[in-house]
Structure 1
Amino acid sequence: MQAETVIAVAATVVALGSLWVSYSQGKAARVHNRQSLRPILQIRRIRNDQEGMAGFQVVNAGLGPAVVTDSVVRWDGVVVGAWNRDVKDLVFEPVDWPQTYSLRRGSAVLVGQTTFLVRFDSDDPERLRRFYDRIKTRLVITLHYESVYGGEGFVVSSDFPE
C-alpha cells in the first residue's frame, strides 16, 4: 500500500468517528433537554379537619409546564366525562357543593403550581368526613398531559392506594 492510501483511509476513519461522536452528543443533548423540561403532575387527596377542608389537589412537581391533553372522570367506576362544570353537576349534590377547578384540553399547569381540582369547606366535621369518604372511594380523576415538546403521553390519576 502506498502512503497516500493509508493516509486517506485513516482520514476517512477519523472523519467517520467524528461524525458518530457528533451524532451521539446531539442525541444525548436532545434527551437531556426533554428531561430538563419534564413535568411531573401529582394528584393528592387532602383532608384537614383543623382548617375544615377536603379535596383533590394537583401539583406540578416537575421542571417544566404540563399541558393537559385530556381528562377522564369516573364516578363509581363509570366514566361520566371530562373534568368540567357539566360533570360537577352530575357528581356532586347541591347540599355538598365544592369549589372546583377545571383543566380543559390545552390548559397548562405551570412549574410549582398547586391548585385544588375539588375543594370542600365545612365547619361540620361529620359533613367534611362524609364528603372526603365519598370522593376517596367513588371519584377518580385522571389527567393526560405532556411537556411543551409533546407526544409523551404522561398520565396521573387520583386513584392510588393509601
Structure 2
Amino acid sequence: MNWEIIVGISSVVIALCALIFSFWQGVQSRRHNRISFRPHLTSWTHDRHTQGFYAVELLNNGLGPALINRFTIKVDDKIISGEGTEPIKKALQILFPNDQYPYDAKHSYLGSRYSMGAKDRCVVVVLQFKGEKLPSPEFVKHAIDRADLEVNYESFYGEKFFFNSADEKPKI
C-alpha cells in the first residue's frame, strides 16, 4: 500500500467521524432546546381570610411560552360550559350561592391559542366577600376543592401538556 491510499482512507474516516459527531451534536442541541424552553403551568392561591379575600392564579413557571389550546372549569367533576368568563361565573354561583355569602368577583380566562409567556401569571378569580358575615376559611377551601381547572397547552416545539388543578390538591 502506498502513502496516497493511506492518506485518502484516513481523510475519508476523519470526514465521516466529523459528520457523525456534527449530527450527534445537532440532536443533543435540539433536545437541550426543547427542555430549555418547556412551559410548565401550575396554580397558586392567596387568601386573607380575616378580610374575606381569596384569589386563584395560573402561573407559567417554566422556561418557555405555553400555547393554550383549551381552558376548562369543572365543579364536582362536571364541565361548566360557556364562552369567555361565563364558566367561571357559573362555577362561583354553584360554589357560593350569592344569598348565603354576598361577594364581589373578578375573573379572567385564557383563550384558545393565547401564548402565556414564561413567568407570566393569570389571575383566574378574585373573591371579596362582603358584609358582616364572612364564610369560614374551611368553607371556602372546601368549595375551592370542589372546583378544578384544566388546561391543555403546548410548547412552541409542538409538545403537548395537560394541567389539572386536582393533581396539585393534597390527597386525603
Q: Name the TM tier (shorter chain).
A: 0.7 to 0.9
5+ residue gaps in structure 2?
none
Q: Residues 45 and 158 of structure 1 are in contact (CA less than 8 Å); yes or no, is this contact kept in structure 2? A: no
Q: Runs (4+) of structure 1 moved beyond 3 Å?
A: 81-84, 127-132
What is the alpha-carbon distance in structure 2 between the residues aligned to residue 107 and residue 82 of structure 1?
A: 18
Q: Residues 73 and 88 of structure 2 are in contact (CA less than 8 Å); yes or no, is this contact kept in structure 1? A: no
CA change 1:15–1:82 in 2 (3 A) is: farther
Q: Residues 100 and 116 of structure 1 are in contact (CA less than 8 Å); yes or no, is this contact kept in structure 2? A: yes
Q: Residues 53 and 128 of structure 1 are in contact (CA less than 8 Å); yes or no, is this contact kept in structure 2? A: no
- Deviation of 1:56 after TM superposition, in Å, equals 2.0
- Aligned twin of 1:42: 42
Q: Residues 43 and 157 of structure 1 are in contact (CA less than 8 Å); yes or no, is this contact kept in structure 2? A: no
* Greater Cα shift, 8-17 or 79-88: 79-88
Count, aligned residues: 160
- Aligned twin of 1:111: 118
Residues 1:121 and 2:135 are matched in the alignment: no
Residues 1:29 and 2:29 are matched in the alignment: yes
Percent identity over the alignment is 24
CA change 1:102–1:35 in 2 (3 A) is: same
Deviations 1:110-151 (A, max 9, x none): 222223212211255316653442122x111111112233x2
- TM (norm. structure 2) is 0.78
> Quick one: which of 121, 142, 153 aligns to 2:160?
153
